C-alpha cells in the first residue's frame, strides 16, 4: 500500500515497515502489537536508518584519491542524501535503485548501480543491498547499514536494563575513532562473553567497532519488554553507536568497510577494508530483523 509518491508501506500480520525514496531509508518499523521499534528522528540525530555508500566512515581529509586525483566525499558517502528511483512496489516488498550520474562522479569517479530491496516474510524484514559494477575497471566500495532502534524499546523500562546478546563469544579487542578516523590502538571489549550490558557511557568515545565480529546475529533485549533480533549476511564488521552524551536510540550497524586509519593516506583501491568488485560483477549484502 502506497502512502505517498515518495513513500511506500509494506506489511504482514507480524510486521509493518515504511520506506522513503530519499536515501532509500527505512523510516518506520512496527511489530505485531503496533509498537514503533525504529527511532523517529529528532534533534539528537535527524536520521533513522541511512545507507552508508560508497564509503563507511570518513576518509582522511574527506577526500577520495583515485589515479592521483582527489575527489571530495563526505562521511559515509552520498547515498543517504540521494533520492532513489522506485523499481518495484508490492504490499510486502519494494525495490529502489541509485545509479552513477554527473553529480556522483564528481565525488566518486566510478560507474555503479546500488539496489535496495525491502521484503517482509513471516515476522521478519530483510533489507538487501546488491551492488553491480557495470564498468570495465574494478569498483572499490564499502557498504553499511545504520538502523537506529528505540532505546529504551518501551516506556518505563530503563535504558540501563537493556542488553545485547551475541550469537557467538566476542572476546577480541574493539576499535575506536578519533575525529571520525580509525585509531590504531585496540581496546578491551566491553562485551562479557556473548553479552553487552548497555549504558550511555559506552558511547562517550563515539562508536564501538567490532572489525572481526564472530557473530552473525545479535538480540537486542529489554527484559520484561520487547526484544528484536538482527542478523546479517556478507558484512564483515559491526558498529554500535548512540549519540555521545545520551540519546534515545541505539544503532546496530553491519558494515563491509570502515573509516580510514588515522595514519593512512592512499588510493581508494588500496584502502584497508575496501571491497573490490570486478568488472561486470555483482555483490550482495543483507540484514534481517525479527521481533523477539
What is the rounded distance in angstroms from the CA atom of residue 218 to the CA atom of residue 227? 11
Q: According to the model, what pLDDT value does residue 1 have?
A: 39
What is the rounded distance in angstroms from the CA atom of residue 171 to the CA atom of residue 190? 9
Which has more pLDDT, 292 or 45?
Answer: 45
Domains along the chain with CATH numbers: 2-291 (2.70.98.10)
Mean pLDDT computed over 115-144:
96
Mean pLDDT computed over 73-87:
98
Provide Rg for the chain, Cα atoms. Answer: 18
Q: How confident is the model at residue 173 (pLDDT cuts 50, 70, 90)?
A: very high
Q: How confident is the model at residue 4 (pLDDT cuts 50, 70, 90)?
A: low
Residue among 218, 159, 153, 216 nearest 191 (CA): 218
Per the listing, cell 564498468 goes with: 135
Mean pLDDT computed over 221-248:
94
Set of cell numbers at residue 226: 520487547
Set of cell numbers at residue 77: 558517502
Beta-strand relationship, 51-52 and 143-145: antiparallel
Span 96-105, pLDDT tens digits: 999 999 999 9
Return mean pLDDT, the chain. Answer: 95
Span 198-232, pLDDT tens digits: 999 999 999 999 999 999 999 999 988 889 999 99
Q: According to the model, what pLDDT value does residue 69 have?
A: 98
Q: What percentage of residues in the chain have a pLDDT greater than 70?
A: 98
Mean pLDDT is lowest, of 30-44, 162-176, 253-267, for 30-44
**pLDDT score of 2 more than 60:** no
Set of cell numbers at residue 239: 558498529
Mean pLDDT computed over 170-187:
96
Q: According to the model, what pLDDT value does residue 3 have?
A: 47
What is the rounded distance in angstroms from the CA atom of residue 260 to the CA atom of residue 62? 10
Residue 85 · residue 287 · CB < 8 Å? no
- Numbers of helices and strands, H then E, in the chain: 1, 25
Q: According to the model, what pLDDT value does residue 246 have?
A: 87
Mean pLDDT computed over 51-61:
98
Mean pLDDT computed over 184-210:
96
Which has more pLDDT, 231 or 33?
Answer: 231
User: What share of residues in the chain are helix, strand, coil (percent, to 5)?
Assistant: 5, 45, 45
Pinpoint the alpha helices (H) of the chain.
102-105
**pLDDT score of 152 more than 90:** yes
β-bridge partners, 232: 287
Q: According to the model, what pLDDT value does residue 114 have?
A: 98
What is the rounded distance in angstroms from the CA atom of residue 45 to the CA atom of residue 57? 16
Amino acid at each position: 500500500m502506497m502512502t505517498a509518491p515518495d513513500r511506500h508501506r509494506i506489511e504482514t500480520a507480524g510486521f509493518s515497515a515504511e520506506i522513503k525514496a530519499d536515501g532509500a531509508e527505512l523510516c518506520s518499523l512496527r511489530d505485531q502489537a503496533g509498537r514503533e521499534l525504529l527511532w523517529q528522528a529528532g534533534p539528537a540525530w535527524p536520521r533513522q536508518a541511512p545507507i552508508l555508500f560508497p564509503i563507511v566512515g570518513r576518509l582522511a581529509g574527506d577526500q577520495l584519491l583515485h589515479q592521483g586525483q582527489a575527489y571530495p566525499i563526505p562521511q559515509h558517502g552520498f547515498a543517504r542524501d540521494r533520492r532513489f528511483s522506485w523499481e518495484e512496489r508490492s504490499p510486502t516488498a519494494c525495490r529502489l535503485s541509485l545509479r552513477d550520474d554527473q553529480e556522483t562522479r564528481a565525488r566518486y569517479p566510478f560507474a555503479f548501480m546500488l539496489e535496495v530491496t525491502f521484503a517482509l516474510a513471516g515476522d521478519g524484514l530483510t533489507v538487501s543491498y546488491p551492488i553491480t559494477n557495470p564498468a570495465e575497471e574494478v569498483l572499490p566500495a564499502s557498504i553499511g547499514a545504520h538502523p537506529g532502534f528505540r532505546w529504551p524499546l518501551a516506556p518505563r523500562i530503563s535504558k540501563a536494563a537493556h542488553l545485547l546478546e551475541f550469537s557467538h563469544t566476542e572476546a577480541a579487542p574493539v576499535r575506536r575513532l578519533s575525529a571520525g578516523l580509525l585509531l590504531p590502538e585496540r581496546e578491551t571489549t566491553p562485551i562479557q562473553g556473548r553479552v553487552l550490558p548497555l549504558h550511555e557511557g559506552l558511547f562517550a568515545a563515539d562508536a564501538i567497532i567490532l572489525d572481526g565480529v564472530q557473530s552473525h546475529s545479535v538480540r537486542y533485549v529489554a527484559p520484561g519488554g520487547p526484544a528484536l533480533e538482527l542478523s546479517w549476511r556478507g558484512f564483515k564488521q559491526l558498529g554500535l553507536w548512540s549519540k555521545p552524551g545520551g540519546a534515545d536510540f541505539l544503532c546496530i550497524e553491519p558494515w563491509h568497510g570502515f573509516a580510514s586509519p588515522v595514519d593512512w593516506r592512499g588510493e581508494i583501491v588500496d584502502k584497508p577494508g575496501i571491497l573490490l568488485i570486478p568488472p561486470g560483477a555483482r555483490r550482495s549484502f543483507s540484514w534481517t530483523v525479527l521481533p523477539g
